[in-house]
Structure 1
Amino acid sequence: MPIIHFHLAEGTASPEQERALLIEASTLYAEGLQCPMDRVRAFIVAYPRHRVAVAGTMMDAGGTPAPYFEFLVLEGRPLEQRQHLLAGFTDLVVRLLGVERSLVRGHCKRVQPEEWAIGGRMAADLRHADIEAFTRRETA
């Protein structure tokens, strides 16, 4: 289920920077959640500069890049893991894209396991042991 989207204005990152962001974010995600890499998905959503405003200034009129990211985790993941990923993804954006830290925004969305499908089957069924393990750690 680990899925991350980086929302960027077009032209604010080179193809090399985008590639590094996707690869390093995937590694951080897998390590941060202690899950197999084959579960991780990373995407960049690029917006035309004329459709992005930062602090009321359009990007195509000289607005400052201010990336936003959002990622999904199954409900029950420990707060420490979620906070580690929020900080880690922010660090990656700052380091790899060279943007000002205070302009980066991130969001962790928790999803109920019975509302997520993997290959058409409910995560609650497929990941039952995983979900129980991290739920026990969260309440311990």
Structure 2
Amino acid sequence: MPIAHFHLVRSTFTPDQGRRLLVRAAEVYAEVLDSPLERIRTYLAPVEPGAMTVGGTLVADGGEPAPYFTAVVLEGRPAAQRAELLRRFTDLLVEILNASRPTVRGRIIEVSPDDWGIGGEPASAVRAPVRTGTPPSR
């Protein structure tokens, strides 16, 4: 279920840096949340320099590029895990893209298992403990 989106100004990263960010972010998610890697999705959302402002100035007009990410987790994750995701995703942006740490912004979005779909079914139903002894289908 874990999903991450990284909104980055297109001119601030190479294709290789983008690939490394996505792969490392998935690994971080798996480690921090103790989640199977196959459940994790990471996305790059490139933004044109003329489509982002920082401090009211378009990046195309000299505004400093400021990475932004969202990390989606199911409700109930401990605050310590959520804080670690914020820190480690920021660390990745600083390390891989040489982003200025003070400009990085991130947000954890908690989603109720009733409001998250897996194959068209609510996660609360798919991941519910099975009383019959048969493992969930997804």
Fold match, TM over 0.5? yes
Larger proportion of helix: 1
Structure 1 unaligned spans of 5+: 130-140
Structure 2: gaps (5+ residues): 130-138
Equivalenced residue count is 129
Amino acid at match of 1:15: P
Aligned to 1:121: 121
1:89-118 deviation digits (Å, cap 9, x = unpaired): 000001111011000000000000000110
1:81 matched residue in structure 2: 81
Counterpart in the other structure of 1:9: 9
- The RMSD of aligned alpha carbons is 0.9
Deviations 1:64-111 (A, max 9, x none): 111000010000111111111110000000111101100000000000
4+ long deviations beyond 2 Å:
none
CA distance in 2, matches of 1:56, 1:105: 16
Deviation, 1:128, is 2.5
TM-score (norm 1): 0.89
**Which residue pairs with 1:134 in the alignment?**
none
Q: Establish whether residue 35 from structure 1 lines up as the match of residue 27 from structure 2.
A: no
Following the alignment from structure 2 to structure 1, what is the Cα–Cα distance between the partners of residues 82 and 126?
A: 22
Alignment match, 1:111: 111
| SS at structure 1 position matched to 2:46 | strand
| Corresponding position of 1:135 | none
